[in-house]
Structures are given as structure tokens and as C-alpha cells.
A and B are shown apart, each in its own frame.
Chain A
Amino acid sequence: MNDLNKLQHSDAVTTAWQFTEQVPHGRDLGMQVVSVDQGQVCMRLTPQSWMFAHKDTKEICTSVLYSLADSAGGLAVFAGALELMPIATLDLRMDYLRPAIGDRALSAVATCRHLSDDVAFIHCDILSEGNRELLATANATFMRNTQGQQLHAGGRGKESA
């Protein structure tokens, strides 16, 4: 998506999109936001050899998929809510259906399944780009409106510390 498309979004979604692209861990892994639609987000990641799970195979470490699902899930909360408020991941469950081989980009599609005043329920599918076979699925629950916190921490806010 280009800047023109971004203008069609609410300010909240644009800010959340920009925020997601500036997250240091996301930048380290090379995560990119591909599109943000109403309640749905697509992100991608190009594998590097340092992301592998073994020295002698090209299998991507499951934890890289986990990070991608967490980031896409967080952005999907804003895509569903269309308002800017601090959020925090309560829990995330990953199922790794197939090994992810590192010769293709990973693509994550996160959907906001249900939104209440307090909580957002997110589902995320991870696929190999250009392939319809699922590599992994994630289900995450995010707390909304966490006090004393700014945007997505990918973890709990200070209220519970």
C-alpha cells in the first residue's frame, strides 16, 4: 500500500501502522506492513539465515513466526477498533502446522474476531508467500485501554507489575 491508501484510513490506524513499522524488534526482523483494512492486517517478513532453527537446515525458527503473529495481531486490534488506545497482549497461542522453510517470505494475516470494551480477540494465519498452505495459526487475546501505557507493548502494562 502506498501513502495515498494510508490517507484513506482513520488517523488512529495510520498512527498504529507507523508505530508498528518503528518497533525496534520488528525492524530487526525486517517486518513490513503490507495492508490494513477494516479489522484485518497483512504483514510480511523476508527470512534471513540467522533466523534459522538449526545450523544445518533452512528451517525458520518458530519464534520468528511467533513475533510476526504478535505484531500483526496488535495492529489488527487498531484495525478493528479504529481508535488509538494503549493495548497489551494477555496471551497468545501458536500452532505450528508445518516447518517454515526459509526460501520464501512469510506472510501474516491477522483478523480482529471480536471486540469488547475491555478485550480484543485476534486470529492470525501465517503462510509462505505464494503458497496457500498454512504454516502456523495463532489466537491471541489483547487487553484494551491499559492504563499508563502507550500503544502495543507486546506484553502487559505496568498496572499489573
Chain B
Amino acid sequence: MSTTGDSAPQISGTAESAKECADWQALLERIPYAQHLGLEVQRGDAGVLVHLPCREALIGNFMLPALHGGVLGALIELTARVAAQSQDAETRCPRILDSHINYLRSAKARSTFARADIIRQGRRTSLVQVTCWQGDDKKPIATGQVQLLLPTMAAQQEDRHGH
């Protein structure tokens, strides 16, 4: 994962990126739907990636065949969520407010990867840009922007009492 701006942290060492991968993986494992889709964290050249292995249940058009647009939607939303949560000092569980996804190229029935860039991590909200590609990371198949709300302490406590 990377951030935009002057303070963009560089992946300085193997240990650091290994820890980031483990953090992302732990967050993904707490999301039942992410587990159903088969999302897994991988270490890429430029930081942490989320990998979506292809399988039949993800197909949206069996004649082409192509992945369902909603599967890419899920890859983008869940990658954004994990990126925002791992970036938060208190690892608060964010709520997705909205997402806007542009489909750029056909999504073939093959492995897909996603990378997150935090556009802004605020006190209450986080805006994350996610890019998806298949064979060539220079040829994105979809990009999306996801706006997330980070719950305040009061809302979190209320939530805890509620369950």
C-alpha cells in the first residue's frame, strides 16, 4: 500500500512489509464475505496487494467469459476497507459510505490484483483509491474510489453494548 503526498512511507525493509501483509491478512480474515470470495494478501513490488484467485462462482458472463462487475466491486471495496483500517492508529472498523467504480478494460476469467492508495486519511473519514489489474499492472481493468467513515469512540461503545 502507498500514500500520496510528501510523507509517503517507503517500504524500508522486508520485516516491515511482512508485518503489513500480516496485518492486512488478519483484517481480511475477519470479513466473512472476503473469505467467501477467496481474497488473499500478497506482497508486491510497490507494497501490499490483494489477490482474487479466479473461480467459476465469480463469473458474470459465461460466454466471454468475464468476471462479474460486482466481484470487482467487492475486491475494490474490501481492499479499501482493509487499507483504511490498517492505516488507522486505533484500527477502528470503518463503514463504507459510498464507492464509485470505473470499468476500464474487460475482466477476464483469471487472477486479479488490487492496490490501494490512501488519498486522505482524516480523523473521521478516509478516502481510498483502488486500482485493479490482471496480467499487466500498467493496464488497469478497473479503478474505484471508496469513502469510509471511521466511527467515533462514542459510536463504537454504543455498538459494543448493542451486540
- Give chain A's interface residues, CB within 8 Å of chain B: 22-28, 49-57, 61-64, 66-71, 88-96, 99, 149-158, 160-161
A67 cross-chain contacts in B, Cβ below 8 A: 68-71, 73-74
B32 cross-chain contacts in A, Cβ below 8 A: 49-55, 61
Bound complex: CA A155 to CA B76 (Å): 14
Interface presence of B63 (CB below 8 A): yes
Q: Kindly state the interface size class of chain B when it binds its partner.
A: 35 or more
Q: Given A55-B32, A96-B97, A149-B64, decide whether A160 and B106 contact each other with a Cβ distance below 8 A.
A: yes
Question: B60 and A50: CB pair below 8 A?
Answer: no
Count of inter-chain pairs, beta carbons less than 8 A: 168
Question: A155 and B98: CB pair below 8 A?
Answer: no
Q: Report which of B30, B60, B69, B99 forms a contact with A54, defined as CB distance below 8 A.
A: B30
B127 cross-chain contacts in A, Cβ below 8 A: none
Bound complex: CA A135 to CA B154 (Å): 23
Name the distance in Å between B1's Cβ and chain A's nearest Cβ: 19
Question: A24 and B98: CB pair below 8 A?
Answer: no
Bound complex: CA A53 to CA B100 (Å): 19
A89 cross-chain contacts in B, Cβ below 8 A: 69, 103
Question: A157 and B106: CB pair below 8 A?
Answer: yes
Interface presence of B11 (CB below 8 A): no
A152 cross-chain contacts in B, Cβ below 8 A: 60-61
Bound complex: CA A27 to CA B62 (Å): 12
Nearest 7 interchain pairs by C-beta? A67-B70, A154-B69, A63-B74, A154-B60, A25-B68, A61-B33, A28-B57
Question: B60 and A153: CB pair below 8 A?
Answer: yes
Q: Report which of A66, A95, A154 forms a contact with B66, defined as CB distance below 8 A.
A: A154
Question: A160 and B59: CB pair below 8 A?
Answer: no
- Known interface pairs A94-B99, A160-B104; 14 further A-B residue pairs with C-beta atoms within 8 A, sorted by A's residue number: A24-B68, A25-B57, A66-B73, A66-B74, A67-B70, A67-B71, A71-B70, A89-B69, A90-B102, A92-B69, A150-B61, A150-B63, A156-B106, A156-B141
